[in-house]
């Protein structure tokens, strides 16, 4: 029977089959010979060796370790694999690890050892860097302990084939349980921690010596925080999943939940608080990954990107053809690598959005708006907009609605905010925001007296993709939705008062208008309210008085009910179709509001910064990327097979 010659390979992120013990050894030796392993320096190898030796000794399973050497019978052979290499990709994918039972080989992917140019396994003298790296080191320790669990539990030695595949999910959790128990033993004393190279806790509020669970909760909690914040731009590509293994954050949630049971049994309240918060963060990230984002990594950095109804368009080097990918060719949850020519000169694209078929509109740093041919990258025509987009006395916004036929740019003239609408032909029309507010009041028949207190307090995009305006007359707050041509609808009075709204932000002498109001598909107004410190957020109807939120999320641990709640300033909003709106609250995180399902879901613990872009096509497909980066996440809407 052919399946009897298959060896089971357990992975920290999945499950694969390699045919034949000798074949596995051949692959390991090829990795060594071709230099497709991460070369560890003395500190990195010592950290790896120190932890595994302590772990195996605690299991009464002392064994010699052979790290990145040609295969040897007897020792536990460990290989730090570069998954980008041809042979490496056949063993583990990026961010993964695997134990092969018969030849006693442990493969771990090199992502665990380096973030950017920083070595995770090397101790840092800088305390801030060490606070970031030490939890990631412990997270790698957990992955290693999980793989050693497969070894010690003799998974794969007595069963093969389809029966083994059916039971692999259960065995993954058995290996997790092994790792938890092993880490608790290593964390129990300063001596055992020192032997294993386990770093000190990150938290500085320990009033007494923390127990093992509290220390583990502290480290894993910080690791989850870091990885959750970086899901959108993560050095560990953790998007991969398999039928027999839960995705990273789903699995981490299970791990935290089982640690929580231990903490409840031991009545360890500090550990419980940290574990519950970490589980809430992991749950938020697990939801984001459940949307099955598509990860595309380009060979070189690009300047801008957008998505149409059918294609993903990436603007790379100036003067070069744009890179286009059909959405139909991208499968949800998959990872792709694509080539892009390296930039030969300074990047000049400031913003870009689709023009007529086959062209891209590019606003360059010199103020020129170009109609660019997608195939050649050459300019079809140029319009000089220099001086037409205001000065720097307020922070500028550039708003691109889904499938835009126009772009909106907010700016200032001598401190007075205005908005410009830029058409595809390069024509531009600019209107002071106060003028739009006056028109909205007049259309509503309001008898407000125009005074110095009459001011605009917010401008952004609603879930429909149309711009929305919030303003006050000093006594009341009004809201109006605008058409694509900036014609104001009649203003509606909201239940908020002017003192409820966030004050304008002054940044390096420039004034910014933080948003305050959200709008659903029909243009009804809502606001976000909550406790920013504890991340309890609710979305309330702004046109009726009610103490019940339309949608809410609680990311806090168990704390006092006496919390400081306030209306939260909105840094930006991104309509992504299907009645959904991403609410960027800056330091308080980013949330996905679904006005159809009436749900509010956290997708990031910290908000998006100026270099991070979200763009949608109106069909529910949307993308995220960082300007001048080389990675894009594509989230397909339901019409294209997404979630």
Average confidence (pLDDT) per 10 residues, the chain, 643 residues:
36 45 86 90 92 93 91 93 70 79 88 80 76 81 91 64 54 86 91 89 64 87 76 55 52 82 89 84 78 88 92 90 93 88 84 88 90 91 85 79 85 84 84 91 75 81 93 92 91 92 73 85 93 78 93 68 73 91 87 92 82 89 91 85 64
d(CA 271, CA 14): 29
Is residue 247 a part of any domain in this protein? yes
Cβ atoms < 10 Å from Cβ of 552: 17
d(CA 185, CA 145): 12
Residues in the chain: 643
- Say which DSSP state 521 is in: T
Same domain, 345 and 220: no
The pLDDT value given to residue 134: 83
Same domain, 454 and 332: no
Q: What are phi and psi of 134, to 5 degrees?
A: -60, -40
Cβ atoms < 10 Å from Cβ of 236: 21
Is residue 84 a part of any domain in this protein? yes
CA-based torsion, 584, 364, 360, 431: positive or negative: positive
- Say which DSSP state 632 is in: E
Q: CB-based burial of residue 73 (10 Å sphere; 0-12 exposed, 13-18 middle, 19+ buried)? A: exposed
- Sheet arrangement for strand 97-100: 15-19, 6-11, 97-100, 105-109, 76-81, 65-67
HSE at residue 306, side-chain half, CA atoms within 13 A, is 21
Burial 397-417 (b: 16+ CB within 10 A, else e): bbbbbbbbebbbbbbbeeeeb
The residue segments making up the domain with residue 488 are: 439-613
Same domain, 335 and 218: no
The pLDDT value given to residue 282: 80
Same domain, 527 and 635: no
d(CA 535, CA 623): 25
- Say which DSSP state 374 is in: T
Q: CB-based burial of residue 112 (10 Å sphere; 0-12 exposed, 13-18 middle, 19+ buried)? A: buried
E strands, 88-171, in order: 97-100, 105-109, 114-115, 118-119
CB 414 within 8 A of CB 394: no
d(CA 464, CA 580): 9
Q: What are phi and psi of 404, to 5 degrees?
A: -70, 135
Identify how many contiguous H helices and E strands the chain contains and give both numbers: 10, 39
How many domains would you assign to the chain? 3
Is residue 425 a part of any domain in this protein? no
d(CA 487, CA 475): 24
Same domain, 159 and 265: yes
Name the nearest CA neighbour of 77 among 16, 139, 42, 32: 32
CB 436 within 8 A of CB 450: no
Is residue 415 a part of any domain in this protein? no
d(CA 341, CA 595): 41
Same domain, 231 and 285: yes
Same domain, 232 and 356: no
What's the token pair of residue 530? Answer: 């909550």
Q: How far is CA 343 from CA 233, 323, 351, 367, in A?
A: 21, 14, 17, 21
Same domain, 456 and 593: yes
Is residue 384 a part of any domain in this protein? no
d(CA 639, CA 494): 35
Which residues sit opposite 323 in a β-bridge? 314
CB 477 within 8 A of CB 487: no
Same domain, 538 and 606: yes
d(CA 525, CA 527): 7
Burial 158-167 (b: 16+ CB within 10 A, else e): eebeeebbee
d(CA 418, CA 435): 9
CB 98 within 8 A of CB 10: yes
What region, left, alpha or beta, does residue 508 occupy, with left being phi > 0 and alpha being psi -120 to 50 degrees? left
Name the nearest CA neighbour of 633 among 343, 292, 329: 292
Name the nearest CA neighbour of 199 among 184, 215, 188: 215
What's the token pair of residue 40? Answer: 């560890």
Is residue 594 a part of any domain in this protein? yes
Q: Tell me which of 254, 273, 290 is where a domain ends.
A: 290
The pLDDT value given to residue 567: 87
Let me know the angle formed at the C-alpha of 458 by 570 and 626, rounded to the nearest 5 degrees: 45
Same domain, 588 and 642: no
Helix, strand and coil in the chain, % to nearest 5: 30, 30, 40
Same domain, 300 and 286: no
Q: How far is CA 386 from CA 318, 351, 391, in A?
A: 20, 15, 11
Helix (H, G, I), strand (E, B) or coil at 81: strand
d(CA 250, CA 245): 10
Q: Tell me which of 243, 270, 290 is where a domain ends.
A: 290
Helices (H), 380-534: 433-444
Is residue 422 a part of any domain in this protein? no
Q: Tell me which of 243, 266, 290 is where a domain ends.
A: 290
Q: CB-based burial of residue 420 (10 Å sphere; 0-12 exposed, 13-18 middle, 19+ buried)? A: buried
The pLDDT value given to residue 551: 93
What's the token pair of residue 367? Answer: 């103020």
CB 111 within 8 A of CB 95: yes
Cβ atoms < 10 Å from Cβ of 451: 10
CB 511 within 8 A of CB 504: yes
Is residue 114 a part of any domain in this protein? yes
The pLDDT value given to residue 452: 64
Same domain, 323 and 247: no
């Amino acid at each position: 029977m052919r399946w009897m010659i298959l060896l089971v390979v357990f992975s920290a992120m999945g499950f694969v089959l390699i045919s034949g013990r000798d074949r596995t050894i051949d692959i390991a030796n090829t990795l060594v010979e071709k230099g497709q392993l991460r070369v560890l320096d003395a500190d990195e190898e010592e950290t790896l060796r120190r932890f595994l030796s302590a772990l195996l000794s605690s299991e009464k399973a002392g064994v010699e370790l052979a790290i990145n050497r040609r295969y040897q019978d007897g020792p536990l052979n460990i290989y730090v694999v570069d998954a980008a290499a041809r042979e490496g990709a056949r063993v583990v994918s990026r961010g993964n690890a695997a134990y092969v039972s018969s030849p006693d080989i442990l493969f771990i992917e090199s992502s665990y050892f380096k973030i950017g140019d920083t070595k995770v396994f090397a101790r840092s003298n800088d305390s801030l860097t060490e606070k970031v790296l030490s939890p990631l080191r412990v997270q790698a320790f957990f992955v290693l302990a999980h793989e050693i669990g497969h070894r010690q539990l003799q998974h794969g030695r007595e069963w093969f084939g389809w029966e083994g595949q059916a039971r692999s999910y259960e065995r993954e959790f058995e290996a997790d349980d092994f790792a938890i128990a092993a880490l608790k033993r290593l964390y129990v004393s300063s001596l055992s921690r020192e032997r294993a190279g386990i770093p000190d806790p990150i938290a500085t509020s320990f009033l007494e010596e923390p127990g093992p669970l509290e220390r583990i909760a502290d480290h894993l909690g910080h690791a989850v925080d870091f990885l959750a914040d970086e899901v959108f731009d993560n050095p560990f590509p953790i998007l991969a999943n398999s039928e027999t293994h839960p995705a990273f954050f789903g699995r981490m949630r299970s791990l935290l939940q089982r640690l929580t049971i231990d903490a409840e049994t031991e009545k360890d309240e500090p550990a419980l608080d940290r574990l519950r918060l970490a589980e809430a963060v992991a749950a938020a990230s697990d939801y984001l990954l459940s949307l099955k984002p598509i990860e595309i990594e380009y060979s070189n950095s690009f300047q801008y990107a957008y998505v149409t109804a059918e294609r993903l368009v990436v603007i790379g080097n100036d003067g070069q053809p744009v890179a286009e990918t059909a959405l139909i060719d991208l499968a949800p949850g998959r990872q792709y690598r694509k080539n892009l020519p390296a930039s030969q000169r300074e990047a000049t694209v400031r913003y870009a959005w689709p023009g007529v078929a086959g062209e891209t509109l590019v606003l360059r740093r010199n103020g020129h708006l170009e109609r660019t041919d997608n195939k050649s990258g050459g300019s079809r025509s140029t319009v000089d907009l220099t001086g037409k987009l205001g000065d720097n006395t307020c922070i500028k916004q550039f708003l691109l609605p889904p499938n835009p036929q126009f772009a909106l740019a907010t700016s200032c003239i001598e401190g007075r905010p205005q908005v410009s609408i830029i058409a595809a032909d390069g024509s531009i029309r600019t209107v002071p925001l106060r003028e739009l507010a006056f028109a909205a009041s007049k259309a509503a028949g309001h008898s407000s007296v125009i005074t110095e207190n009459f001011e605009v307090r917010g401008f952004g995009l609603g879930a429909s993709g149309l711009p929305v305006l919030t303003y006050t007359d000093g006594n009341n707050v009004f809201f109006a939705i605008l058409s694509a041509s900036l014609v104001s609808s009649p203003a509606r009075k909201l239940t908020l008062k002017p003192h409820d709204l966030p004050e304008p932000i002054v940044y390096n002498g420039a004034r910014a208008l933080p948003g305050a109001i959200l709008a659903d598909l029909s243009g009804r107004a809502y606001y976000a309210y909550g406790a920013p410190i504890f991340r309890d957020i609710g979305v309330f109807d702004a046109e009726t008085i009610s103490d019940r939120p339309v949608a809410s999320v609680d990311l806090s641990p168990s704390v006092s009910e006496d919390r400081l709640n306030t209306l939260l300033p909105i840094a930006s909003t991104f309509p992504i179709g299907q009645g959904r709106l991403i609410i960027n609250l800056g330091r308080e995180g980013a949330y996905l509001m679904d006005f159809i399902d009436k749900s509010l879901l956290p997708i990031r613990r910290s908000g998006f910064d100026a270099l991070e872009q979200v763009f949608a096509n109106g069909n529910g497909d949307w993308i995220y990327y960082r300007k001048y980066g080389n990675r894009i996440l594509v989230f397909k809407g339901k019409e294209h097979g997404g979630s």
